[in-house]
Amino acid sequence: MTFLALLPVGLSLLVLAAHFYRAGQFVLCAAMLGLLALTAVRKPWAARTLQAVLVLGALEWLRTMARFVSERQIEGRPFVRLAAILTGVALASALSALLFRTKAMRARYGLDRQARNVNPSA
């Protein structure tokens, strides 16, 4: 079950790595590939780091979409399909971040224990 929950996370990181590779941003590409290894670290900070990167990745996809759509509009080329695809990729990245709220992922990364330790009324 956990493997299936981690699959969209891994795919989102791989697609981000490919995006940065194509843009010539090799350090960010390597960082995305390195973050794949972070999925094996069963600590709350690892889950929170992955969530943050996935949300930032979704914002990167939206920024890229806006830039490409603008370029295509200026050139008078079609842009709706491009906008739909990149919006879908951004949504997939954002939804991957939400997978860390599932019961299996909370248990894997100890996120329930973290919440109990922070509770000031305990």
pLDDT, tens only, 70-86: 999 999 999 999 999 99
- Does residue 105 belong to any structural domain of this protein? yes
Model pLDDT for residues 12-57, shown as the tens digit of each residue = 999 999 999 999 999 999 999 999 999 999 999 999 999 999 999 9
Number of domains in the chain: 1
The predicted pLDDT at position 112 comes to: 83
- Is the pLDDT at 113 greater than 90? The verdict is no
Q: Is residue 52 part of a domain?
A: yes
How sure is the predictor about 106, in pLDDT bands with cuts at 50, 70 and 90? Answer: very high
What's the rounded Cα separation, in Å, for the pair 14 and 35? 10
By residue range, what is the domain housing residue 8?
A: 2-114
Look at the block and give the residue holding tokens 């990729």.
89
Structure confidence at residue 4 (pLDDT): 86
Of the pLDDT bands very low, low, confident and very high (cuts 50, 70, 90), residue 117 is low
Instruction: Establish if 29 belongs to a structural domain.
Output: yes
Please answer whether residues 90 and 62 qualify as being in contact, where contact means their C-beta atoms are separated by less than 8 angstroms: yes
Does residue 122 lie within any of the structural domains? no
> How would you label 29-58 residue by residue, b for 16+ Cβ within 10 Å and e otherwise?
beebeebeebbeeeebebbeebbebbeebb
User: What's the pLDDT score for residue 2?
Assistant: 78
- Cβ atoms of 15 and 35 closer than 8 Å: no
Tokens 């990149």 sit on residue: 86
Q: Where are the alpha helices (DSSP H) in the chain?
A: 2-22, 26-38, 44-75, 80-98, 103-109, 111-118
